[in-house]
Amino acid sequence: MRLHGKRALVTGGSDGIGLAIAEAFLREGADVLIVGRDAGKLATARDALASEAKGGAAVETLSADLATGAGIDATVARVKASGQLLDILVNNAGVAYLVSFETVSEAQFQHSFALNVTAAFFLTQRLLPHFGAGASIINISSYFANKMIPNRPSSLYSLSKG
């Protein structure tokens, strides 16, 4: 249990890569707070993760939309209210609009950058006072940040993840 006594926050932790990361942290003994938008998916994730917790590790959830200032505020407030310092932040939350370049709407563009770029930047910035010594920040990018698959429209996603 290499992470026993450590506290981790994983954004976008209710499914996919984020859920797998949270699961691995719990198996290694870390307490984990997962943040996502969908309360139902978070409850399902929490129930699934509870069986992975080792050595008294705990899993908590927070429903918050990190593409908004209110969601970032709620996440920071939750960390602050815990009274515990963070050892690990995983900025994993993201959105992919896989639409052709010429059809990307302004709303899709703004939402992509709000979640894929702005949220990671300002959440990290706002959490700085709540990191313990030697804390780690992990920003999840994508294969699509450097490569595109022919005939798969990912220009907006690639731009925001790069």
Is 31 within 8 Å of 58 (Cβ atoms)?
Answer: yes
CA atoms within 13 A on the CB side of 108: 15
Residues 6+ positions from 24 with CB-CB distance below 8 Å:
none
Q: Is 97 a catalytic residue?
A: no
From the list 69, 146, 153, 148, the residue with the least C-alpha distance to 115 is: 69
**Integer Cα distance of 1 and 137 in angstroms:** 20
Catalytic residue among 157, 159, 161, 162, which?
Answer: 157
Residues annotated as catalytic (active site), given as ranges: 157
